[in-house]
């Protein structure tokens, strides 16, 4: 029996290795894109100089740009560069798209203004195979996999994790309260959240809300979402170009 278990574990590890390799490569590409965007932003910022220090005119050649101007590029150019790198991460193999990262187009307005209807997202499908959801994660799941949505049309939803397993979630006086404490809630953009709860999040589940609280159908309606039903975590917006970047 021990030998069979050892062989099974070895085969499972060998089968998962290509997935983990592809996942690490996708993360590397995204990290490289972020680093490049930050380098461009830093280069575009004007250099600071003490007020009593005169500029060194001798070091500047005729026609050279002013300090901080040499690599200045419009924001949409930086976004397109990041978009190109992210698309490379998705174009590698069918294995990558099926098991690791896949594009997804938003069909709702419930996450505005942070994620808009029509935005194209990268969904990391390995996120919850290798770790647990965290508060603030943007997740994708099918409503058909949520027990409280029985009878509703099957729809793929994108929401934000607010409550974690075992926590008591509610809204009081316009604020989201977890275990009796008002949480930092930058995702609501300062807008009041209508009162609900208190609700205890069952083990193995998360409580999700849309950022656009007034127009979102979420855990307030269909209850907590099983972690096992989460398709993945949204990593970035890859289209349209002006909105490319991390979520």
The reply to whether 110 belongs to the active site is yes
Q: What is the mean pLDDT of residues 91-116?
A: 70
Question: For 2-48+68-246, CATH number?
Answer: 2.10.109.10
> What's the length of the chain?
247
Of 214 and 48, the structure prediction assigns the larger pLDDT to 214
What pLDDT digit, counting tens, does each position of 221-234 carry?
Answer: 999 999 999 999 99
Other beta carbons within 10 angstroms of residue 151's beta carbon come to 4
The pLDDT assigned to 40 comes to 57
Contact yes or no for 115/106 (Cβ under 8 A): yes
Q: What is the pLDDT at residue 34? A: 57
Owner of token pair 């021990």? 2
193 in Cβ contact with 174 (< 8 Å): yes
- Collapsing DSSP to helix, strand or coil, 169 comes out as strand
More confident residue, 161 or 246: 161
Q: Global pTM? A: 0.64
Residues 133-183 have pLDDT tens digits of 999 999 999 988 888 776 555 688 999 999 999 999 999 999 999 999 999
What average pLDDT does range 27-39 have in this prediction?
58
From CA 125, how far away is CA 22, in angstroms rounded?
A: 11
Indicate if 159 belongs to the active site.
yes
Query: With contact defined as beta carbons under 8 Å apart, do 152 and 222 qualify?
Result: yes
Dump pLDDT digits (tens) for 39-95: 655 665 555 444 444 444 444 444 444 444 334 445 544 454 555 545 555 555 554
Helices marked H in the chain — which ranges? Answer: 2-44, 75-90, 94-95, 219-222
Residue in 159, 188, 216, 219 annotated catalytic: 159
CA 220 – CA 223 distance, rounded (Å): 6
Query: CB count, 10 Å around CB of 233?
Result: 21
Spatial contact of 209 and 166, defined as CB atoms under 8 Å apart = no
The mean of the pLDDT values for the chain is 74
Q: State the pLDDT at residue 24.
A: 59
Whether residue 220 is predicted with pLDDT greater than 90 in this model: the reply is yes
Q: Which of 113-117, 195-199, 225-229, 238-242 has the lowest mean pLDDT?
A: 238-242
To the nearest 10 degrees (0 to 180), the angle between helices 2-44 and 75-90 is: 160
Catalytic residue among 110, 149, 216, 219: 110
Residue 63 pLDDT:
43
């Amino acid at each position: 029996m021990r030998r069979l278990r050892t062989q099974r574990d070895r085969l499972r590890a060998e089968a998962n290795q290509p997935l983990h390799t592809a996942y690490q490569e996708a993360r590397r590409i995204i990290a490289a894109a972020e680093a490049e965007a930050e380098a461009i932003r830093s280069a575009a910022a004007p250099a600071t100089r003490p007020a009593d220090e005169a500029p060194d005119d001798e070091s500047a050649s005729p026609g050279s740009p002013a300090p901080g101007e040499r690599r200045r590029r419009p924001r949409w150019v930086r976004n397109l560069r990041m978009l190109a790198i992210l698309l490379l991460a998705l174009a590698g193999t069918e294995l990558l798209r099926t098991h690791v990262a896949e594009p997804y187009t938003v069909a709702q307005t419930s996450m505005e203004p942070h994620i808009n209807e029509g935005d194209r997202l990268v969904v990391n499908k390995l996120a919850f195979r290798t770790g647990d959801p965290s508060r603030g994660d943007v997740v994708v799941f099918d409503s058909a996999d949520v027990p409280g949505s029985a009878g509703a049309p099957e729809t793929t939803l994108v929401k934000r994790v607010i409550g974690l397993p075992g926590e008591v979630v509610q809204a009081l006086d316009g604020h989201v309260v977890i275990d009796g404490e008002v949480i930092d809630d930058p995702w609501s953009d300062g807008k009041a959240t209508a009162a609900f709860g208190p609700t205890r999040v069952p083990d193995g589940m998360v409580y999700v809300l849309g950022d656009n609280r007034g127009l979102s159908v979420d855990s307030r309606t269909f209850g907590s979402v099983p972690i096992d039903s989460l398709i993945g975590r949204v990593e970035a917006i890859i289209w349209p170009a002006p909105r490319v970047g991390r979520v």
